[in-house]
Amino acid sequence: MCESGINVDQLRMSITHTEKMLGMAQEWIEELHHVADTGKKHDASVELAQATVLLGEARVKLEKAIDRLDGAAPAEGVTVELV
């Protein structure tokens, strides 16, 4: 536990792990996009390209969440008493 009622280091590590997994998925989907494009499957290629963009946006959100953990205020109703 930490002062905000959660283990911030563990949360940060979990978010980082998730961001890295999305990064791997994004790379795989980019490869699939290129395969579909090369195979002249335009509609599938477009959908896969859009999926990589969405994953990129999700990764940015996760990175911002990590950045905001450092400046996060304690949750309402949580008090900390140092002994």
DSSP summary character for residue 6? S
Q: Do you know the residue count of the chain?
A: 83
pLDDT tens profile 8-49:
899 999 999 999 999 999 999 999 999 999 999 999 999 999
Domain assignment present for 39: yes
Residue 58 has pLDDT above 80, yes or no: yes
Residue 78 has pLDDT above 90, yes or no: no
Domain containing 48: what range? 20-70
Domain assignment present for 43: yes
Domain count, the chain: 1
Q: What is the pLDDT of residue 1?
A: 47
Structure tokens, 69 = 């953990």
pTM beyond 0.85, yes or no: no
**Separation between Cα atoms, residue 30 and residue 53, nearest integer Å:** 10
| Range from 2-11, 19-28, 72-81 carrying the lowest mean pLDDT | 72-81
